[in-house]
Structures are given as C-alpha cells and as structure tokens.
Structure 1
C-alpha cells in the first residue's frame, strides 16, 4: 500500500517546539488528547517503505529508551516506552503500509506507554534508533523486514520471558475504609490508554466519553454522602479486564457499574442506552458480538486475559454467583426504568452476554452502553453537557432506589466517616 504523505518539515518543527514549551504548563484533564503530565510528547507517526524494508517513524519531543518484543496470535511487534503523551489521534492508527497493518498507542500503565504494531505478515525488527533533529525533536525509527513464519516464531519464543516481565503491572488497590459502612460503588470507565475503544467519525473516542461521564457520576454520588465511590481508572490509562474485576472484589464492592459507548458498524440500526448483565449465553447476536469485542481489549494491548481462580470451593462460588446474578438483574431493571425519562433507550434495553468485566461472582455488576458511536443521534447526546447532567442524575437516583432497603431512612447515612 502507498505510504501516507509526510508532514512538511516546517510543520513538524513548529509542533515539536510548541509541545516542548506547553507541556509543563498544561493541567491534566480526562482526555486522551491532553494527558499533559507526561514528560515526552509524541506529535506524529509515519510509515515509510524503502525497498523490502518498512519503517515506523515517531516524532517525539525528547529522546526515549525503547524496548521491542515480538508476539503472536496474531503477529505483532510491541514497542514499550517510558511515559509518553501521545498527541496523535488514535484514528490515525488505522494507517497501513508495507509490513504495518495497523497500530495503536497510549499509556499501558501510569509510568509506561506502549505501541502495538499489527503486522501484515511475519517480520522482524532489524533496527531501532533514536536520532535528534536540528529543531530539537527526536525521531524514533523502527525498521522491519519480512521473515519466514519459523523465524518469527523463534523470535517470539526468545522474547516471551522478557515480554511477560514487561507486561506485569501492580494491582490497583482501593484505599482501605474500615470505618465506612456505606455501600461501596465501583464505577468502571471502559477502555483507556492504549485501548481507545470505539472511534466515531471525526475522531470522537469512547475512552474519553465514558471517562467524562464516569467522573460526573462519581461527583453526583459523592455529593449525596450515602455511598463510598471508587473508580477503576481516573485518567487515560489502560486497565486489564480482570484487574477491573479484581479491584471491585478487593474493595468488597456492593455494586459494579462499567460504562461504555461502543460502536456496531454491522448493525447501525442499534442505538440508545442498553444495560447488560452477565450470562454464558448472549441474548442476541449483536450482544454476543459486542461482548467478544470488549473481551479482546487485553489482547489488543498485547497481554492475555487471565481470570483469577477463586479460593472458595466451586459449589460455594456457584451459589454466590446465582444470588449475585439475581441482584444484578434487579439493578438492571431499576436502572432501565430510571433512565427511561432522560435517555433514548434501546428497543431492547436489558440484554445479556458473557462480558469478562461482569464475572465477579460476589459483586452485582452491570455494563451500561450509554449509546453507540455508530449512531449519529447517540453521538449528539453523548457529547452534550446537558444530557450528561440529566443522565448522571437519573443513574444516581436509580442507585439510590436499589439501595433504599439497605439505607432505609437513616438520617446519618450521609455522616459516616469516609
């Protein structure tokens, strides 16, 4: 395929200088485009084809020390970097050329970034170099050459141990609150970091939309004083699926709400808010497709989803899961009823599918699709401040109703020690 046209040198120089000057001055906001806490800024990515070789060139504001790994199923090259603020729209990752089929980039952990390169065929990295330009920018150039399947497999095997170590992440742990008897709500903004989620026309990214909504919801729930509210992520960072579940279980959560705004290009007629609960069998084909895609998030970031084994006996776990599933359905019904007055509901607003993030056997859990980025009408709502205000208020009221039997009319419900 034809390589994309290179950005004019004068533009790159101006961007590099501007990024270097502005990064220390910007305040962090919940957006992929402005996580300015990073010291290094990536301002451009280009694919160059030179004979049999393909080069990926990242333009950075400062030098970095990269680490490179080959992984399979499917064939990919992983480039690990220190913390980098990617000022490159995620939708540009769909570019392809030579041995590069597509790319994705973003924070893999709070202090690390990752670039995952999907290969068009088996390839090996022949060189990785970081060079300085006269304008102060630095070019990270990764060179690829085609190899046979056996050579690629040998490279994967050689990198396996180091890659497993590089992919280890500290578990996110909730702050202890032994004196807090309020119900604990865990809000889970889907995607983040290297996983932007669905990307709508115009570059609107699911990870941004759901984080902004989740932060607003946390604010409303906290204002009520009746709940202890935690989030699996508060910034644009990647969190593995099972780690989200583990966080809720370690927090002894009373309710887990995963927020999403996906896209179903094969079914653009699907629109409106939908609440999902966990089930081994999906309620319909669209739900099964959606769950399969959501469950692949870890693989797209270059790691395997590993569901932790429970320490309790299987029979006890199954009994707990059955009871938990009942509570999940009750909350899903309550939420659908509560959101009906402020949100466009899907024609079938309560659906079921086998989402990994809903598999905690002892935490009632739902996944809320606020809308679908494949629907223009939904995008208009999801990006509306007025709609977010109304939707978060309705969701807070639904959570209040769900916990009403537990909270009762206690006047001191809002005065428990945090």
Structure 2
C-alpha cells in the first residue's frame, strides 16, 4: 500500500505539470478546430443569420459586448478558467465583421475570436483580462430602429467567485493560497482526490456514466437522428436503473445537451472517486465504406485491436477540436510513464468488466462480429478508474438505428448493462475480500 500511495503522489505531481500545460489556445494561434476569424471569410449560406457589427464598451469593472445581427438568434454563454474565457455558443452565423475586429482590447475583454465550429453551430470566445461573472447574456429582437442584437454584460469578480460560478465539470483546482473557509463549495483542492465531496457520507461505489458528445458536438448523424441525443437518452435511463437498484452513487458527466471536453470527463470521474466509468456512444461508417452493425465494447489500449477500432478512436479523440481544445500538445514523458504504470492494474479490471458487458448485452441485443475491442480513446485514460466505452450500434445501419430509437430495445439493453455492473462489483468485492 505504501508503494502504491507513493506512486499516486508522484502521478499527481506529474499530472499537475501536464494539466498546467493544457488549455484552450491563445489569440495568437488557433488549435485544430478552434474558432478563428479566417472561418468568417468563407462563402456563407444566404439563409444564415448575418453578424454585421460589434461594439465593446465599459471598463475593467464592467464591460458590455454587443453584436449586431440581421435576426434574433438563441445563445448559450458560459465561462472557462486558466486562462479566463467566456464562450458564446449559437446557431451557425455568417460573420461579416471588420478584419481585425477581435484584436481590439477594451475593459475586461482582451480579445475575441469567432467562427463556425461545426455545420449548424458557431462560437465566440472572449479572452479576459481578469475573472468575471456573466451578469447577463441576452438576444434582443429588432426595436426602435436598432437591429437584432446579442448583448453580453460582464462584471469583474475575484477568482474564488469565478470558480464557484463554473459548471462543475469545468472547475479547476483552487490554488493553495485560498483558505479552507473559501473552499466550502464542491471544488477539488488537489490534483488527485481520493473521493468526491459526497463520498464522506455515502460509501457506495461511484459509477460515472458518460454520454458522449453534446452541445455543439452532435456526434454521428443519420436518418435525422444525432448520436448526442441517442446516447444521452440511454445514459439517463441507465442512471435511473442503477439508482433504482440503490447500491451505487451515480454521477453523469452530462445530463443535458452540454459540451464537455474529453479530459474534463476523465477529471470528473477521478474527482468523484469513481469505481467504474462507462462511456456511451453510437458509431457510424462514412458513405462508401460498407456497412457494419451491432454493439461493441472497447477498453483502452496503446495499439488498436484493428483498423476500425483505430478509426473510431481517432474520430472520437478529435471531438475536442469542436470545443477549441489544442490536440497538438502531449503529456510529458514522465507523466506518460507514471500513467502507464498505474493503468496496468486498472486495465485488468476494465477488461473483466468489458467481458461481463459483452456477455450480458449479447442476450438482449445484436453484437458486432468482433464485440470486444481496444483502442486509444482519451476518455478511457483515467489511470486509476476502470473504464469502458460502449458503442451501442451503428446509426449508419438501418436496423441498428431502428433499435437505437426503440424504447423496448433501450429498456432491455439498459437492463443488460446494469446487470453487468452488478456482476462486476459482486465479483470485484469477493476478489478484494479474498486478497485481505
């Protein structure tokens, strides 16, 4: 146990260095898939809303950002830390702004960038001079000779207030200088937490359910259906089934149509002290690449078990580009080595669970001809949390899609996955008891 504890401390130090090196890209260079002004110069669909002008007013205490549009659009605003940013997601917009508009600093906004992050979705990212609170974020109809507008009101706050205002999955670790009384909110105070805040009173194993994609990232799409909606419905049904069993504390990486970066999903599982991480997806083959059907269960591997597994891992790992994450940076060599050591035992447990899932699912649903595979999915890389990724089927296959949209199929398959979780913990507890 002492050796393992020392190893975890070293791993924490290495991961701290790696985490500090990551983040969304700065204004001066765009990461793969990050919004940039270049994307505004592409020919736009005439049916798209047009953004024609932008104004920034205020000072370093309060700043107002106004975007003029030819029609009202819906929007979602949220903050991100380290560096401090405000992100605005909206339907796809044609940006006809003056060149260099995003480089002018004013008040709390150092600069901003904008563009299409995926077909049907646009994003603006404000780089901030200091932490802020989004006082208001509204879309206004044309009125009194004014065009439709998007108005964002920002107000300066201290770091503690800023962090407490973040979505849980986006909260960074608070700096040690912050006192204990200031950290009463459920924010992790160390890089590696043995358990989440609720586990002090709840000793049940924590199961994290991770519906893939979300928000501006639709995932695969076919027949008018998107992967993000299919897997969210399945994940919520699985949560309800497990909570009904009552043996587990269930945590969702997302419970609505929200984008959560891959690394943040992993961080959430580790912060909650997860005993099991189950990521839910639905695959699709590009047109012209044949047809495939059936469910597949994946575990983590440095080498993919086949070309199809590698293709899928590459596709899923690039999903973060939609959220503006820089995928070109890699962890340090030291972190890689420590993570690999910690993962050896975790991979053993992941493999056991994956075999149980396949065994239960094949009773209720069609399985892929090679149902157990491995690949380098980033979302499975928590070194101390047994993790699997379940591809429920292929939305590109007519029969699979029909099943995926069936309440009866979902109920049976959710039951199978829940049963495999039950079996895993029953065998795991017996195994742990025998080793004491």
What TM-score does the superposition give when structure 2 sets the normalisation length?
A: 0.59
1:115–1:198 distance in 2 versus 1, CA, 3 Å: farther
Deviation digits for residues 37-70 of structure 1, max 9, x if unmatched?
xxxxxxxx34799xxxxxx967326899999xxx
Q: Identify which of 355, 371, 382 aligns with 2:404.
A: 382
1:66 & 1:225 partners in 2: Cα distance?
34
2:241 & 2:219 partners in 1: Cα distance?
25
Aligned match of 2:63: none
Q: Identify which of 132, 142, 146 aligns with 1:133.
A: 142
1:65 & 1:180 partners in 2: Cα distance?
34
Aligned match of 2:378: 356
Aligned-pair CA distance for 1:364: 0.5
Aligned match of 2:131: none
1:302 & 1:169 partners in 2: Cα distance?
14
Over the residues paired in the alignment, what is the CA RMSD in angstroms?
Answer: 4.2
Aligned-pair CA distance for 1:178: 1.0
2:123 counterpart of 1:114? yes
1:63 & 1:343 partners in 2: Cα distance?
39
Aligned match of 2:72: 60
2:204 counterpart of 1:195? no
Q: Identify which of 270, 277, 280 aligns with 1:259.
A: 280
Aligned-pair CA distance for 1:341: 1.1
Aligned match of 1:158: none
2:403 & 2:202 partners in 1: Cα distance?
36
1:380–1:169 distance in 2 versus 1, CA, 3 Å: same
| Unaligned stretches of 5+ residues in structure 1 | 7-44, 50-55, 68-77, 107-112, 117-129, 142-165, 409-418
| Unaligned stretches of 5+ residues in structure 2 | 1-41, 53-67, 80-84, 97-114, 126-138, 151-165, 173-185, 188-195, 431-436
Aligned match of 2:389: 367
1:351–1:47 distance in 2 versus 1, CA, 3 Å: farther
2:144 & 2:297 partners in 1: Cα distance?
51
Aligned match of 1:217: 238
1:253 & 1:63 partners in 2: Cα distance?
33
1:268–1:374 distance in 2 versus 1, CA, 3 Å: farther
For the residue of structure 2 that corresponds to 1:247, the secondary structure is helix
Aligned-pair CA distance for 1:406: 4.4
Corresponding pairs, count: 302
8 Å contact from structure 1 (residues 105, 114) kept in 2:
no
What TM-score does the superposition give when structure 1 sets the normalisation length?
A: 0.61
2:356 counterpart of 1:334? yes
Q: Identify which of 254, 260, 267 aligns with 1:246.
A: 267
Deviation digits for residues 241-269 of structure 1, max 9, x if unmatched?
11111111111111100000122215342
For the residue of structure 2 that corresponds to 1:188, the secondary structure is strand
1:407–1:329 distance in 2 versus 1, CA, 3 Å: closer
For the residue of structure 1 that corresponds to 2:385, the secondary structure is coil
For the residue of structure 1 that corresponds to 2:209, the secondary structure is strand
Aligned match of 1:403: 425
8 Å contact from structure 2 (residues 141, 149) kept in 1:
no
Aligned-pair CA distance for 1:405: 2.8
1:292–1:5 distance in 2 versus 1, CA, 3 Å: same
8 Å contact from structure 2 (residues 69, 147) kept in 1:
no
For the residue of structure 2 that corresponds to 1:371, the secondary structure is strand
8 Å contact from structure 2 (residues 237, 414) kept in 1:
yes
1:66 & 1:183 partners in 2: Cα distance?
31
8 Å contact from structure 1 (residues 200, 374) kept in 2:
yes
Deviation digits for residues 124-172 of structure 1, max 9, x if unmatched?
xxxxxx985369996469xxxxxxxxxxxxxxxxxxxxxxxx9x94249
1:64 & 1:347 partners in 2: Cα distance?
42
8 Å contact from structure 1 (residues 264, 374) kept in 2:
yes
8 Å contact from structure 2 (residues 234, 410) kept in 1:
yes
